[in-house]
Structure 1
Amino acid sequence: MPRYLKTYIYLVTIIGMAILLLVLSGLKIEFLPFVLAIGLIAGLLEKYDVELPNGSIVSGSTTFTFVVMAVYGIPEAVVSEIIISLVSIPLIKSERIKFLYNTSQYIICTVAAGYGYLWLGSIPGTFTWYDVPRLLFAIALYNILNITLISVIISKLNERKYFATWIEMVQDGVLIYLVNSFLSVRLALSYELHDQLQFWIETLFVFAVFLALRYAFALFINLRKTYLRSMESLTQLTENKLSISGGHATRVGRIARKIAEKMKLSQDEIDSIHYAALLHDLGKTYLEEKIFQKRGPLTLEEEREYRKHAEIGADMVKEIAGLAKSSEYIRYHHECWDGTGFPAGISGEHIPLGARIIAAADQYDHIFYKKKSQTDFAALAGTKLDPQVVEIVLGIADLQEEPGKMAMPATIEEKLIENLVISEARKRVYQSQLLDKFGASLIVRYDGEFRNEAGDSIDIPCREQVITLVEKARRQQSGVREILEEAQSGKIYDVYCVPSGDQVSVIFFDVTDILEYEKKQEERVRNLYREVIYSVTQGKLLLVEQKEIELLKTGVYISSHPILTKTDVASCRRQVQEVLESRPLPSKVRYNILLGTSEAVTNVLKHATEGQMSLYMVGDHLRIFVSDNGSGIDLSELPKTTLMAGYSTKHSAGWGFYLLLKVMDRIILSTSSQGTTIMLEINLVDAPEKVATNNITIFKEENVRHA
């Protein structure tokens, strides 16, 4: 804590204690039992305050301070405030400064309000309707002075400007002022020195009402938190399915809510934006997973499919009662301020405000988790994002909190219920024959040790890796999934870690046999496609494994060139052209070879992030190897991709494999999830006739199998 802030706290405390000593001399002992009773009730209200849905806190304790001030006087009101502090703030060592500071500033505010009340002409003990405006003034003076004193600390701790903090607290305090004013006036009017029955009945009624409100609002808030956690769980399932960074939707929801709160939107609007932000990616569950797993840029067809998710998600959410407004925000959250977004291409303030807020929260999370700076985020103002919203985001100091710190803490009751539910569920899981057949070979819980159903400590596969996952799940308080391979046995496990407080349940699915079966099935399909493609192209196109295509890199190595940007297309063409210049080739053949080279290299830039071209001469045959680090060609798409003209290319990319088959003697292709390698071969001696007439080329490499 800064030195000047400590000095401020000590100064307020000293002034408060000095005022206390001055006013206590006027305390009337005969009124003390009443003041003690009122202070005790008010202290309980302060201790068990009411949290409203918008986050404001209402206790009602100061209501009784003003009543005491009106019917007895300033010294008695000060004593009442001290009793409230004693009841509500525990006198432990770590809380002493807090107790002294709060008590002192309450005393300062109470005395100032009291003298304001007296200055206007009121006399304690004779409260009538004529004194109502004077008491309202005193209450307002108390609240303004209290906010003025407390804003000094809050503005510093939150690293915000003092005046902005003061204005915000005044706005939040309006409701509290109205509640305190109404109750204070009502209780003060009901007080009679010689007949206090009516006053105590109304006092107990106010106390009961506050407790009932506290219970009702707590139920409502807990229900809303449960609703939010259900939505967050749904989004986590979506993220796991689509390989989206874990917790993205939850973080976007929290950021969007903070933006909406900062903009002082209504509570319903804030909730609608929060719900929409949590579910903004829901429509992606209806799209093919390969679109989200692809490492390179999307094709035009894939881009069209991807753009459907906003409308699909909006239509899904629209069916949920009470989320019609959230549905609208989801539909337009990919619209851009400059009109270049989708699905409608609207711009500026034509985009719903909620959608603009979600767009900003979404971009902020993407940028922050890519370790970029706020400058990158600010650069989006006026193009992708609403400049006003960007300015608000950059002004919120605590947006870069860790996801774990941003999580809404569950109450003790919620944790107990959660543990009971999970315990019952765990029993059913242990007894499930279906899970056993599916391959749930091991289900354990971790509380510092891995234990089975009986509570015995046991050994588990991939122990160190699982401990890392368990700690991550416990830290984030969200499920974690990972595929792990045990080095000794070679077994592969699909591992799920599900946190429940300090304990984490871990489920191991042995997927070794399933993956082996899928591998064999894929191999059968691949061989079938290999034979069909080889037969249809009359031997010009052969599908092989990566290790087989590496065996073809023989003969004389000429050169290599990385493929990273569009300028590399021309560089690769020049390297091939240098080889062709030493050969007496017709211009049409030379053009075809360079065109094929451009097509292969361009495909790298379209479907991956980087690649490489290598050139070899084997006798009179030029071999051009082009490889990339993309997601590969999906097995089911191979026949269309390799045999249909223009199937897998964008508008700028011509004819793909169809063109290559026309201009090359033979093509060798290897593709997998790790990337694609293609070898283009042409005989430079017999090139004229080859290009025009040759349709069949026989593989002579013994190590490369063909159909």
Structure 2
Amino acid sequence: MMLCEECPQNPACQNCVHALRAGVVEKVIPARKVRVKLSSGQTVVAEMRAISRTAVGLYCADHTLADSVEVELASDFRILGSAFQGIRDVHYYVVDITKVFRRDEVLQRLLMEEFLQWHHSGENLPNEWLTELKDVEDERHRLIREELQKLSILRQVQSIYLYVMENGVIRPIGAKRTEEPLEGDLERVAWEAVKKGASVREQLISGDGSKMYELYASPLPDQTCGLALIDVTEAIAEERARQRKEWELYKQVLMAVTQDKLVLLTDAEMVELATSGQKVATLKIRSAGELSGLRSVCKQFLSDLGIVERRSLQFLVAVNEAATNTIKHGAGGTVTIHISPEEKVLRVIVHDQGQGILLEELPRATLRHGYSSKHSLGAGFHVMLQFSDRLCIGTSTTGNKFVLETAII
């Protein structure tokens, strides 16, 4: 199978589309020039000829595209993928998409519809808008054109609204404009970018709190500014759903391999657990010298509850390890002791102020003895798990909460 001689202008030819072997595929007419960074670090120019949610088709006559490549659709819109030859004996390559980059942020595993139809916009393109100007070659208009061409590629990323500020007045480019009364914020951010002489990014929230926007403002000469307002509500909801699903998967796996001894808790679940039973003591831990006081208080409660000495000493070691880590990995923390006669459990909750544990490190941090990294708790985690009847974890950027439980008579 070969590319037809008229490709990519001939819409009847579907060879480049079929080569993607994806679901819904669109042919890019006319073909778009894109920059491709190879795994060697070299950057080459290719033509984008087909596009789907999961792959793109590139024609590159002068270089072979293989392995990991980065395709730059604009300076702030790139995709990362794995390339292979899509049609035998033809310089046509398929890039399976693994990530989408926007500015310096990585939006991983979001729906690929965000760029599926970016070439289908029915609005006026920047070049068409600029033909209304008398002198399209002066520096100010050239920069406006450059900014708007870059932003036009992003028109179909969720919902994107393009504006320009000239003579202090904000006006939309094309027919689309947000229904939200945000133009006051647009003007404020535009003037901030003009004063700084640098691009400004800010998050905006709708008046009723139901929508979230990313606003990008790029200053241009003569007190003008180009703006892009992107509705990221669905993208954020999608990412949160993905994170919840990933969290639940880790939770189920860790519970399965530890026979329900290690449990991940959400913030809401942690609050519910912390409010059950009776809180009998609260201690602040800011230095190693305060650990002995914690051990004494815990030992007394364990003795009063009739916990046998060997079991009591083991649990004290686990509590001491958790409290020690609040000093090692943060600025200290708080320890609260709870007794629940109904559940027949003594519960010690240790809250540190560290950076939290990376979710992907939890299996190794908890199940591999002696494992340690910048964000993990090292060998101490294994001790806490071994000497507690159950260990519950809640982790976030605000710190970690560890709930160590031991059964009481």
Residue number in structure 1 paired with 2:370: 646
Counterpart of 2:158, as a letter, is: G
Give 1:380-529 correspondences, 5 Å limit: 419-429=140-150, 432=152, 434-439=153-158, 441-447=160-166, 448-453=168-173, 462-463=182-183, 465-488=185-208, 490-501=210-221, 502-529=223-250
Residue number in structure 2 paired with 1:598: 320
Give 1:552-563 correspondences, 5 Å limit: 552-553=273-274, 554-563=276-285
Question: Which digits, 9 at most, give the CA deviation of each residue in 1:573-617, with x for residues without a partner?
Answer: 343234234344444323322221122123333334453221110
Question: Which digits, 9 at most, give the CA deviation of each residue in 1:263-321, with x for residues without a partner?
Answer: xxxxxxxxxxxxxxxxxxxxxxxxx999xxxxxxxxxxxxxxxxxxxxxxxxxxxxxxx
Residue number in structure 1 paired with 2:339: 617
- Cα 1:630–1:512 change in 2 (3 A) is farther
Q: Distance in 2 between matches of 1:465 and 1:632?
A: 34
Identify the match of residue 659 of structure 1 among 362, 383, 391: 383
User: Is contact 1:497–1:507 with CA below 8 Å preserved after alignment?
Assistant: yes
- Cα 1:609–1:466 change in 2 (3 A) is farther
Residue number in structure 1 paired with 2:41: none
Higher strand share: 2
Residue number in structure 2 paired with 1:688: none
User: Is contact 1:451–1:458 with CA below 8 Å preserved after alignment?
Assistant: no
**Secondary structure of 1:647's aligned partner:** coil
What is the TM-score of this pair, normalised by structure 1?
0.35
What is the root-mean-square deviation of aligned Cα atoms in Å? 3.5
Q: Distance in 2 between matches of 1:592 and 1:586?
A: 10
Residue number in structure 2 paired with 1:632: 356
Residue number in structure 2 paired with 1:551: 272
Q: Is 1:676 the counterpart of 2:400 in the alignment?
A: yes
Counterpart of 1:633, as a letter, is: I
Counterpart of 1:656, as a letter, is: G
Higher helix share: 1
The offset of 1:552, in angstroms, is 1.4
Question: Which digits, 9 at most, give the CA deviation of each residue in 1:207-231, with x for residues without a partner?
Answer: xxxxxxxxxxxxxxxxxxxxxxxxx
Residue number in structure 2 paired with 1:303: none
Q: Distance in 2 between matches of 1:635 and 1:628?
A: 17
**Secondary structure of 2:273's aligned partner:** coil
Which blocks of at least 5 consecutive residues in structure 1 are unaligned? Answer: 1-236, 239-287, 291-415, 686-707
**Secondary structure of 1:488's aligned partner:** coil
Q: Distance in 1 between matches of 2:181 and 2:175?
A: 18
- Cα 1:472–1:604 change in 2 (3 A) is farther
- Cα 1:645–1:440 change in 2 (3 A) is same
The offset of 1:492, in angstroms, is 1.8
Q: Distance in 2 between matches of 1:573 and 1:464?
A: 58
- Cα 1:453–1:610 change in 2 (3 A) is farther
User: Is contact 1:665–1:683 with CA below 8 Å preserved after alignment?
Assistant: yes
- Cα 1:289–1:473 change in 2 (3 A) is closer
User: Is contact 1:641–1:657 with CA below 8 Å preserved after alignment?
Assistant: yes
Larger Cα Rg: Structure 1 or Structure 2?
A: 1
Q: Report runs of 4+ in structure 1 exceeding 6 Å deviation.
A: 454-459
Q: Distance in 2 between matches of 1:615 and 1:457?
A: 55
The offset of 1:529, in angstroms, is 1.4
Counterpart of 1:438, as a letter, is: V
- Cα 1:649–1:595 change in 2 (3 A) is farther
**Secondary structure of 2:304's aligned partner:** coil
Q: Distance in 1 between matches of 2:256 and 2:377?
A: 26
User: Is contact 1:470–1:504 with CA below 8 Å preserved after alignment?
Assistant: yes
Give 1:173-184 correspondences, 5 Å limit: none
The offset of 1:498, in angstroms, is 1.6
- Aligned-residue identity in percent: 26
Question: Which digits, 9 at most, give the CA deviation of each residue in 1:46-102, with x for residues without a partner?
Answer: xxxxxxxxxxxxxxxxxxxxxxxxxxxxxxxxxxxxxxxxxxxxxxxxxxxxxxxxx
Q: Distance in 2 between matches of 1:547 and 1:663?
A: 26
Residue number in structure 2 paired with 1:311: none
What is the TM-score of this pair, normalised by structure 2?
0.58
The offset of 1:643, in angstroms, is 1.5
User: Is contact 2:159–2:231 with CA below 8 Å preserved after alignment?
Assistant: yes
